[in-house]
Amino acid sequence: MAQNLFRSTLAGGLLAGLALSAFGFTSAPMAAGSFRSIAPATISSPPSTASAKDIVDTAVGAGQFNTLVAALKAADLVDALRGDGPFTVFAPTDDAFAKLPKGTLESLLKPENAGQLKGILLYHVVPGRYVARDVMRSTTARTLNGQRLAFEVSAGSVKVDGATVVAANIECANGVIHVIDTVVLPQSATIVEVAQKAGTFNTLLAAAKAAGLVETLSGKGPFTILAPTDAAFAKLPTGTVESLLQPENRDQLAEILKYHVISGRVSARDAITANMAKTLQGQQVIFDLRDGQLLVDGVRVIATDIDASNGVVHVIDSVLLPAEM
């Protein structure tokens, strides 16, 4: 999956000032069923009326989304994408699916892998109607999978998690389709695995193990983790971490760690909007935005919206302590 491990979404309007014409986008819709191959630098959307066909029927009629349609049937998503919506679908062509490693598609289409296939397909669907202009004005969008796609405009092309948009604004009765040249894959690692791969959360992982929370944080979730780095733990008074890791202090350690965990998937944008969130410890953390810097309980959030299969991680530069501790 093409996504930076520590990408920030606080600059949600970063691309807003880019001229649409510079990349060939216009706000008028493309004719339904007009799936011609277009050079990335000249992606365009000639005027037309919206199609009376839904997303699925539009894809079927186009003739180059046979694999996508077969996958939607195998994942039992056809009826969902024929619903009212609106939906925005980043649709991989048959050639895009053919790029997957040999045997991958055949494995995903097996009945026992329907859940995994469904998660991948839902990662290509954003609720609401995102026309080209909206994509270019955004840096990310939350998918029906729960994780977020990353948008980028660079060198005359529009990228979605690294996949190139080759045709845009194909209007359907219940949404819009943008054609992409590569299948995009959601994060498959759990929160614990993401932390292990990062290499900067060794103390947090040791603490979670000592508190008996590794299995929980590897579970279905979803969870939002406010994750202190090793450097954050090093800020605690000398001997504090060593004391908390002792078996007799397991309950106190668990309370501190649970204060860093929120039930559900809370993005940076959600946190700013909500201003507060209840933790698994029971108390609430307070979010604040000061001079463009996201804070939680006054502590700096130094990286946001790191997706995991079972939640999202925000990195903080100090350990949070619940009241009366």
* pLDDT per position as a tens digit, 67-119: 999 999 999 999 999 999 899 999 999 999 999 999 999 999 999 999 999 99
Rounded Cα–Cα distance for residues 236 and 295 (Å): 19
- For residue 127, the one-letter residue type is P
pLDDT-derived band at 325 (thresholds 50, 70, 90) equals low
Return residue ranges of the chain for CATH 2.30.180.10.
Answer: 20-180, 191-316
pLDDT tens figures, 270-293: 999 999 999 999 999 999 999 989
First CA to last CA distance, the chain? 40
Q: Is the pLDDT of residue 33 over 80?
A: no
E strand intervals along 137-275: 140-142, 148-154, 157-160, 163-172, 175-180, 223-228, 261-263
Query: Looking only at Cα atoms, what is the longest distance across the chain?
Result: 70
Strands 311-316 and 223-228 come out as: parallel
Q: Give the mean pLDDT of 180-189.
A: 96
- For residue 324, what pLDDT is reported? 75
Does 2.30.180.10 match the CATH number of domain 20-180? Answer: yes
Q: Is the pLDDT of residue 44 over 50?
A: no
Give the CA angle between residues 285, 290, 293 to the nearest 5°.
Answer: 85
Beta carbons within 8 Å of 160's beta carbon, 6+ residues apart: 90, 135, 149, 150, 151, 178, 180, 184
In angstroms and rounded to an integer, the radius of gyration of the C-alpha atoms of the chain is 22
pLDDT-derived band at 50 (thresholds 50, 70, 90) equals low
Q: Is the pLDDT of residue 137 over 90?
A: no
Q: Is the pLDDT of residue 269 over 60?
A: yes
Mean residue pLDDT across the chain: 85
Q: Is the pLDDT of residue 208 over 50?
A: yes
- For residue 235, what pLDDT is reported? 97
- For residue 323, what pLDDT is reported? 86
What pTM value is reported for the model?
A: 0.78
User: Comparing 145 with 24, which gets the higher pLDDT?
Assistant: 145
Q: Is the pLDDT of residue 25 over 50?
A: no
- For residue 51, what pLDDT is reported? 61
- For residue 107, what pLDDT is reported? 95
Determine the topology of domain 191-316 in CATH. FAS1 domain (2.30.180)
Q: Is the pLDDT of residue 297 over 80?
A: yes
Q: Is the pLDDT of residue 3 over 50?
A: no
